[in-house]
Amino acid sequence: MEKKSLPEKNLQYRLVNYFALTILSFLIISLLYGLLSLKAALPCANSISCSDSLQLKVENNIPGVFNQHKIMPPVILSEDSSQPVVLGETSSSAEKHIYVNLTKQKVYAFQGNSLFMQAVISSGKWNRTPTGDFTVWTKIRATRMSGGSGADYYNLPNVPYVLFFSNNEIPASSGYSLHGTYWHNNFGHPMSHGCVNMKTTDAKKLFDWADNKIKVTIYGNAPV
Amino acid sequence: MNGSKLKLTTLIFIMLAVFLSFLSYRYLTNRVRRESAILNVAALSVATPTPAEIFLPVSVDSPDGSRTLVMKLQKNNTVAAYSFFASEKSRDREKLIAAKTVSPSRSFSIPDNTWSPDNKYAFIKESSPVTDSYFVLPASDSLPQTDLLNTDIQALFSQKYPQYNLTEITGWADPYLLILNTTGAGGERGPSFWFDITSLTFIQLDTRF
Cβ–Cβ < 8 Å for A207, A88: no
Residues A215 and A102: their CA atoms lie apart, in Å, by 17
* Least confident span in A79-93, A100-114, B50-64: A79-93
Which chain A residues contact residue B61 at CB under 8 A?
Answer: 201
By three-state DSSP, how is residue A90 classified? Answer: coil
Q: pTM score > 0.80 for this model?
A: no
Comparing CB atoms, the residue among B115, B171, B176 nearest residue A69 is: B176
Q: How confident is the model at residue A193 (pLDDT cuts 50, 70, 90)?
A: very high
**Are B148 and B140 in contact, with CB atoms under 8 Å apart?**
no
Task: Verify whether the Cβ–Cβ distance A201 to B63 is below 8 Å.
Answer: yes
H helix or E strand, kind and range, residue A163: strand A154-166
Q: Is B162 exposed, middle or buried (0-12, 13-18, 19+ CB in 10 A)?
A: exposed
Q: Which residue has the higher pLDDT, A122 or B51?
A: A122
pLDDT given at position B46: 54
pLDDT given at position B42: 44
Any CB–CB contact under 8 A between B116 and chain A?
Answer: yes
Higher pLDDT, A92 or B33: A92
| B170 neighbors A188 (Cβ within 8 angstroms) | yes
Q: Tell me the residue length of chain A.
A: 224
Q: How confident is the model at residue A80 (pLDDT cuts 50, 70, 90)?
A: low
Largest Cα separation within chain A, whole Å, is: 95
Bridge-based pairing of strands A177-181 and A196-199 is parallel
Distance CA B160, CA B104 (A): 29
pLDDT at B36: 45
Cα gap A84→A183, rounded to integer Å:
24
Note the pLDDT of residue A164.
97
pLDDT surpasses 60 at A83: no
Ramachandran quadrant class, B171 (left: phi over 0; alpha: psi -120 to 50; beta: rest): left
| H-only helix segments in chain A | 6-41, 47-52, 200-209
Q: Categorize the per-residue pLDDT at A151 as very low, low, confident or very high, splitting at 50, 70 and 90.
A: confident
Task: Indicate left, alpha or beta for B143 from its phi (over 0: left) and psi (-120 to 50: alpha).
Answer: beta
Q: What is the pLDDT of residue A68?
A: 84
Looking at CA atoms only, how far is residue A30 from chain B in angstroms? 36
Chain A residue set in contact with B, beta carbons under 8 Å: 66-67, 69, 71-72, 74, 120, 125, 181-191, 199-201, 224
CB B117 within 8 A of CB B96: no
Please report, as a single letter, which amino acid is at residue B167.
T
Query: Which residue, A211, A125, A127, is CA-closest to A165?
Result: A211
B132 touching chain A per CB within 8 A: no
Interface predicted TM-score (ipTM): 0.77
Mean pLDDT of the residues in chain B: 86
Q: Nearest CA to CA, how far is B79 from chain A (Å)? A: 33
The answer to whether B191 faces chain A, any CB pair under 8 Å, is: no
Measuring CA to CA, how many Å separate B177 from each of A68, B11, B162, B164? 11, 100, 21, 19
pLDDT value of position A180: 98
Q: Which residues of B touch A69 (CB under 8 A)?
A: 174-177
| Residue B63 to residue A187, Cβ atoms within 8 A | yes
Rounded to the nearest integer, the mean pLDDT of chain A is: 86
A43 or A54, higher pLDDT: A54
pLDDT(A91) > 80: no
Q: Which of the 8 DSSP states describes residue A94?
A: P
Q: Hey, which residues 167-186 in chain B have their CB within 8 Å of chain A? A: 170-177, 179
User: From the list B64, B112, B172, which residue is nearest A184 (CB)?
Assistant: B172
The mean pLDDT value for B58-64 works out to 96
* Residue in B61, B172, B208 nearest the CB of A186: B172
pLDDT digits (tens, 9 = 90+) for B79-100: 999 999 999 987 778 899 999 9
Comparing alpha-carbon positions, the chain A residue that sits nearest to B180 is A186
- Give contacts of B177 with chain A, Cβ < 8 Å: 67, 69
Question: Does B117 sit within 8 Å of A184, measured CB to CB?
Answer: yes
| The pLDDT value given to residue B38 | 41
Please report the DSSP string for A41-57 in residue order: HS--SSHHHHHH--S--
Residue A185: its chain B contacts at CB < 8 A? 62-63, 113, 115-117, 171-172
Contact between A185 and B172 using a beta-carbon 8 Å cutoff: yes
Q: Which residues pair with B134 in a beta bridge?
A: B125
